[in-house]
Amino acid sequence: MVPGMARSDLLGRLADISEDAIQRLSDAPGADRVVGAMNSMRDRMDELQKRVRGLEELEKRLEAVERKVDKLSKGGTSDSTSAASGAKPATTTKSSGAARAKKS
């Protein structure tokens, strides 16, 4: 007897047994609900994996921003105050509308 043949015979028998078991399970009452629930669970797991990957990317971006903030805060307070004083004040639409009305 050749060792390869015994192995293929064993694998063939296992395949036959598993096919028979799957057939019996599909004939069982309520099997369609179980299969539906399993498919639904698979879809939910796929969605969860996508979300987790998105969270990992956000964590990397957050770490980069935190490093930048730390670097800027270590630079001194004079840099942050000069940057804040150089900002223009926001104009409102009411004041610009009133200025146009006065010109007319």
Q: Is the pTM for the entire model greater than 0.75?
A: no
Q: Tens digits of per-residue pLDDT, 11-42?
A: 899 999 998 888 887 788 888 888 889 889 99
72: Cβ–Cβ under 8 A, 6 or more apart, which residues? 79, 80
Measured distance CA(24)–CA(20) in Å, rounded: 6
